Structure 1
């Protein structure tokens, strides 16, 4: 995709990878609009990046998504890049009773939310000369982490949706890209100080370089090896992977 001259909307843009993506596109001269539920996080990001814009959005709410889509297309008619980044990652218990409220919240945020966001904006994007949809999934969609089984499952499902949407849009002006991060130093799972996690700056350097190509999958750090695992013999890899984790 081209990295300049875009109007970019990013969900979950007030922290972590979403904020880093917003700032990277902002530095390249794009009009960037971030969204999130926490107005304070959005305001802090705006204060550090003059010219960036923000709207409040709860991706668990269809009404909020539809309202945000109407505002975006009205105020930013040149909108041509949508980055579905908002997500939650919490420990769960696949080996016992799942917390139902957490289960529903995770599925709504990580899977139904991005599908709804894109659905609300898809006809607008198809009318653009060139447009891009980016989904932030995870390598855990290919190699699940057992202590976050629902999170991993939502990312696997989102990967599947990406493949279908890419096929359906193959003859349109819209490209569909999947960004599947490895373990990165963010607030997810309190990973900001984790030595084994990839530094956010190094991750972003690789991500932006790859986004500037024709790649359909963006895989930084050790993500390519994890992406390559699924297949008939995948369980032994998954078993060893989970046994090696500090969680």
Structure 2
């Protein structure tokens, strides 16, 4: 994809990786529409970067997405890039008394059906635009899971597979389909502790590397992988899956 001169919509753009991506794309010369659930937070983000646009989107509300798609199509007909970034993560203990599927259902709704819904809503708008691109955020945990986050990891594995099929189906449109598979990054995805964990990659470092890779087109097979992602991504083909799984899931 080109990294300047686009009209970009980013879901889940009010914090973490989504916000950092929105700011990075805006700063290098794109019109950016950032979405999230809270109007006050959208106002705060857009006030810091005059010209950035904020729109409320609640993926749990069945009317929010279709209403937004109509509005965006009317207000921003040049939209050509959609970044489906919204996601949630929760630990699950399937051995606990009374364990049920409530957490799993909420993760599936947001991480899987949310991405599919966003793609379905905005693909008709972008498919005839120059340099049209869909980017979705999966995770390096799609390739080797952390067993204490089973549904989260599985939801990202689903996206990895689904994006391959989407990429193939859109090959003649053309719409470029890219997958971000972040490593452990300093966000609040799993709680406040993650944002300051020294073992996690700083968000600014992650996004800076992503922007560099996008700028030079360094994303083989549509996967945009920072350097620290690569060993785990290739662990199975390199015969190291068991080693990595054991390191991530100690007994």
Pair in the same fold by TM > 0.5: yes
Counterpart-to-counterpart distance in 1, 2:24 and 2:83: 13
Counterpart-to-counterpart distance in 2, 1:92 and 1:71: 37
Q: What's the offset of the Cα at 1:123?
A: 1.8
1:242 to 223, 242, 249: 249
Inter-CA distance 120–196: structure 2 relative to 1 (3 Å threshold): same
Inter-CA distance 106–98: structure 2 relative to 1 (3 Å threshold): farther
Q: Equivalent residues in 2 for 1:90-105 (5 A)? A: 90-96=90-96, 98-105=99-106
Whether the 8 Å contact between 1:94 and 1:146 is mirrored in structure 2 is no
Q: Does 1:219 align with 2:225?
A: yes
Q: What whole-Å deviation, never above 9, does each CA across 1:37-92 have from its counterpart, x for those lacking one?
A: 12222122111111100111112333211111111111000000000000111111
Q: Equivalent residues in 2 for 1:1-247 (5 A)? A: 1-96=1-96, 98-189=99-190, 190=192, 191-214=194-217, 215=219, 216-230=222-236, 234-243=241-250
Inter-CA distance 233–222: structure 2 relative to 1 (3 Å threshold): closer
Q: What's the offset of the Cα at 1:234?
A: 3.0
Whether the 8 Å contact between 1:60 and 1:109 is mirrored in structure 2 is yes
Count of aligned pairs between the two proteins: 244
Q: What's the offset of the Cα at 1:95?
A: 3.7
Which structure 2 segments of 5+ residues have no match? none
Q: Which deviates further from its counterpart, 21-30 or 207-216? A: 207-216
Q: TM-score, normalised by structure 1?
A: 0.93
Counterpart-to-counterpart distance in 2, 1:181 and 1:225: 13
**Which secondary structure does the structure 2 equivalent of 1:83 belong to?**
strand
Q: TM-score, normalised by structure 2?
A: 0.92
Instruction: Give RMSD over aligned pairs.
Output: 1.6
